[in-house]
Amino acid sequence: MHDNDKLRRAFGSFMTGVTVVTTADVDGTPIGFTANSFTSVSMDPPLLLVCPGKHVASYDVFGTTTHFAVSILSEGQEAISNNFASGPEDRFSNVSWQRDNHGVPVIDGACATFSCRVHDRVEAGDHMILIGHIEHVECFDKPGLGYSSNGYFSLSQEQRADTSGAHDIKSITGAIIKCDDHILVCEKDGRLSLPVIEQQDRNGARSAMQQLLETHQLNAELGPVYSIYDDPHSNRHYTFFLVNAADTSAGGLGRFIPITALDPTQFDDNAMSVMMARFATEVRNKVFGLYIGDVDSGDVHH
Ligand SMILES: Cc1cc2nc3c(=O)[nH]c(=O)nc-3n(C[C@H](O)[C@H](O)[C@H](O)COP(=O)(O)O)c2cc1C
């Protein structure tokens, strides 16, 4: 005896596309329901199958009809899937569709549609295996809508988000290197900045900074993260660490200046300038926080 809930979850873990299976009753009234039980079966002859369940209101119509159609939904057609799974009585009034040669509805905007003659029906437990002989196929070469027990997904949208996110954003690691009451700054044309390094892997901030300190032979200990922020304008992700140096040899990275002489407005980068103003205050108060946010807004966590 199996556990129904476990079986449902196990079936649901299989990722599929989503289709709308349609037909017309004897009066020509359009009928349809959402199905992910679609399977391509044979090329020669061209066959497919879907499995209407006995719970589906139109089960009897699919048990007698001579023709039906399957529309494979494309990305963005989640609302159509929901409409045909639980939607209103007249499911066809919210959706753009047309009739095929046999008067069976096919859904506009689908990735592909199949118009079928019923080839066979097999009763299978609480479902029917409805096998269709494909008489006409249309293919629109669009990305399909995906489905699993976690809900709908759109692979090509996710891939786009992935490539724009992961590959265009640069990760920068920086350090506020402090030796007693001095900090290390880099200076160029009278403007200040902090030592930074671009890291390859977004998760490798700590080791990138460790490497920078070693390369410049600084006698320094890498401390906690002081600030994490994104700059959406330049597509950069910044992580700044606090570093404690044992002496003021800067190893060519810049020079140590007294914190009291620090003028945050001299920093080229506005976000750095705001961060150094906070740092100067926190040095006075001897309480350091962690900033998480972006260049415009965020929170300091203590
Ligand atoms: C993504 C998805 C896939 C579905 N696949 C099937 C299926 O293959 N067979 C089935 O009988 N019901 C399936 N259903 C459920 C039916 O669409 C739903 O039970 C039916 O439309 C209920 O409404 P009705 O009885 O008024 O037609 C699915 C629902 C969703 C959301």
Give pLDDT tens digits for 41-58: 999 999 999 999 999 999
If asked whether residues 247 and 151 sit together in one domain, one would say: no
Return the ligand 1 atom nearest residue 53 CA.
11
* Contacts for 6 with CB less than 8 Å, ≥ 6 apart: none
Q: Report if residue 128 sits inside a domain.
A: yes
If asked whether residues 92 and 236 sit together in one domain, one would say: no
Q: Report if residue 148 sits inside a domain.
A: yes
If asked whether residues 116 and 41 sit together in one domain, one would say: yes
CATH number at residue 103: 2.30.110.10
Q: Note the pLDDT of residue 162.
A: 60
Give pLDDT tens digits for 172-214: 999 999 999 999 999 888 889 999 998 876 668 888 898 889 9
Token pair 């003021």 is at which residue?
A: 248
For residue 1, pLDDT beyond 60: no
If asked whether residues 150 and 196 sit together in one domain, one would say: no
Q: Which of 156-170, 227-241, 257-271 has the lowest mean pLDDT?
A: 156-170
Residue of 33, 54, 77, 130 to test ligand 1 pocket, by largest number of atoms within 8 Å of CB:
33
CB 219 within 8 A of CB 246: yes
If asked whether residues 101 and 176 sit together in one domain, one would say: no
Q: Note the pLDDT of residue 154.
A: 87
Q: In 3D, which of 297, 164, 295 has the Cα closest to residue 230?
A: 295
Mean pLDDT of the residues in the chain: 90
Q: Which two tokens stand for residue 122?
A: 């097999």
Q: Note the pLDDT of residue 111.
A: 97
Q: In 3D, which of 253, 127, 115, 265 has the Cα closest to residue 190?
A: 265
CATH number at residue 202: 3.90.79.10
If asked whether residues 110 and 145 sit together in one domain, one would say: yes
Question: Rounded to the nearest whole angstrom, what is the distance from the C-alpha of residue 1 to the centroid of ligand 1?
Answer: 25
Nearest protein Cα to ligand 1, atom 5 = 35
Domain boundary among 129, 156, 183: 156
Q: Report if residue 141 sits inside a domain.
A: yes
Q: Report if residue 164 sits inside a domain.
A: no
Q: Report if residue 163 sits inside a domain.
A: no
Domain boundary among 156, 179, 194: 156
Specify the amino acid at residue 102.
H
Nearest protein Cα to ligand 1, atom 4 = 35
If asked whether residues 214 and 241 sit together in one domain, one would say: yes
d(C-alpha 66, C-alpha 61), whole Å: 10
Q: In 3D, which of 134, 145, 5, 131 has the Cα closest to residue 85?
A: 145
Q: How many other C-beta atoms lie within 10 A of the C-beta of residue 153?
A: 14
For residue 290, pLDDT beyond 60: yes
Q: Which residues have any ligand 1 atom within 6 Å of their CB?
A: 18, 33-37, 51-53, 55-58, 81, 84-85, 147
Q: Which two tokens stand for residue 114?
A: 């199949």
**What's the maximum distance between 2 C-alpha atoms anywhere in the chain?**
91
**Is 135 or 187 the better-scoring residue by pLDDT?**
135
Q: What's the number of domains the chain is made of?
A: 2
If asked whether residues 12 and 136 sit together in one domain, one would say: yes
Nearest protein Cα to ligand 1, atom 16 = 85
Q: Note the pLDDT of residue 126.
A: 97
Q: Report if residue 300 sits inside a domain.
A: no
Helix residue ranges per DSSP H, the chain: 4-12, 59-64, 78-86, 155-168, 205-215, 270-285
**Is 254 or 190 the better-scoring residue by pLDDT?**
254
Q: In 3D, which of 136, 55, 144, 131 has the Cα closest to residue 103?
A: 136
Tally of CA atoms within 13 A in the half-sphere of 137 that contains its CB:
13
Return the ligand 1 atom nearest residue 33 CA.
21
Q: Note the pLDDT of residue 271.
A: 87
Question: Rounded to the nearest whole angstrom, what is the distance from the C-alpha of residue 204 to the centroid of ligand 1?
Answer: 46
For residue 167, pLDDT beyond 60: no
Q: How many other C-beta atoms lie within 10 A of the C-beta of residue 120?
A: 11
Residue 132: give the domain boundaries: 4-156
Q: Which of 14-23, 68-77, 267-276 has the lowest mean pLDDT?
A: 267-276
Question: Rounded to the nearest whole angstrom, what is the distance from the C-alpha of residue 33 to the centroid of ligand 1?
Answer: 6
Is residue 37 very low, low, confident or very high in pLDDT (cuts 50, 70, 90)?
very high
Q: How many other C-beta atoms lie within 10 A of the C-beta of residue 74?
A: 22
If asked whether residues 123 and 180 sit together in one domain, one would say: no
Beta-bridge partners for 101? none
Q: How many other C-beta atoms lie within 10 A of the C-beta of residue 194?
A: 21
Q: What is the mean pLDDT of residues 272-286?
A: 87
If asked whether residues 191 and 152 sit together in one domain, one would say: no
Question: Rounded to the nearest whole angstrom, what is the distance from the C-alpha of residue 44 to the centroid of ligand 1?
Answer: 29
Q: Note the pLDDT of residue 301.
A: 75
- In what helix (H) or strand (E) does residue 105 lie, and over which residues does it extend? strand 105-107
If asked whether residues 202 and 90 sit together in one domain, one would say: no
* Contacts for 187 with CB less than 8 Å, ≥ 6 apart: 254, 255
